[in-house]
Amino acid sequence: MEKLIIANWKEHKTVREALDFLEKFESIIKSIPLAEKQIVICPPFCALSEVSKFVITHHLPVFVGAQDVSAYDGGAYTGEVSATQIRELAEFVIIGHSERRKYFNETAKVIQKKVSNALSANLTPIVCVRGEKDEISENVCYVAFEPVEAIGTGNPEEPKKVEKMFTILTGDNTERKMIYGGSIDQDNIKVYTKIPRTAGFLIGGASLEAESFANIISAC
């Protein structure tokens, strides 16, 4: 099955640091076979434009993604960035990450609006859920199961539990693509690639260094 390997840089990297990463990543990625693999890099908003420019001018085999999108489609919403604005620079957007739900009080209703705006602007949403209680809109293609206890702790969820949750979250929607995120690194990824239905990984900490992210891609 084709794998989507997503780097979620969170609130890390200045523009210069993002470009340094890409320069290093470019030299490593050339030697990695990428059949059946799609790479998405999600920098912070401030680096989106430069990352996008680098990817285009260097023909880097990666897609660019944003880490969030406004629930409003343009207008007087100070500090927000709309799906239409993001679409000029990116193809994907992460929506509903547990950090946004926790620190920015994002509700299911807000997340639903974000998904709908992303889809209208032709941006592909990657919707993060913490478990089966979080809603998933019917038209969402990529669903990332990210158990809160596994994020940034070095303790990924047990593969058997991930497999079970993938089945539950897929439900009747066989088109839905299941992604796992939470403490995946170059040393533990191999077992997770064997979980049935796995369509990719959302990588936080281990995506910040070009070498470790490339090793993860290699192992997928």
Work out the number of other CB atoms within 10 angstroms of the CB of residue 197.
Answer: 17
Binding mask 129-158 for ligand PGA (x = CB under 6 A): -----------------x----xx------
Cα separation, 192 vs 188, in Å, equals: 7
Measuring CA to CA, which residue among 143, 209, 210, 147 is closest to residue 171?
Answer: 143
Measuring CA to CA, which residue among 58, 33, 31 is closest to residue 41?
Answer: 58
Q: Which is nearer to ligand PGA, 18 or 150 (CB)?
A: 150
Q: Which is nearer to ligand PGA, 55 or 203 (CB)?
A: 203
Using rule CB under 6 A, residue 205 touches ligand PGA: yes
Using rule CB under 6 A, residue 127 touches ligand PGA: no
Using rule CB under 6 A, residue 181 touches ligand PGA: yes
Cα separation, 127 vs 71, in Å, equals: 14
Selected catalytic residue, list 99, 106, 146, 163: 146
Using rule CB under 6 A, residue 8 touches ligand PGA: yes
Interface region with ligand PGA, contact rule CB under 6 A, candidates 21-29, 106-114, 160-168, 176-184: 176-184
Does the annotation count 97 as an active-site position? yes
Q: Where are the alpha helices (DSSP H) in 30-123?
A: 45-57, 83-87, 98-103, 108-120
Cα separation, 94 vs 111, in Å, equals: 10
Q: How far is the CB of 89 from ligand PGA (least distance, A)?
A: 20
Amino acid at 210: A
Task: Tell me which residues touch ligand PGA (CB under 6 A).
Answer: 8, 146, 151-152, 181-184, 202-206
Residue positions annotated with a catalytic role: 97, 146
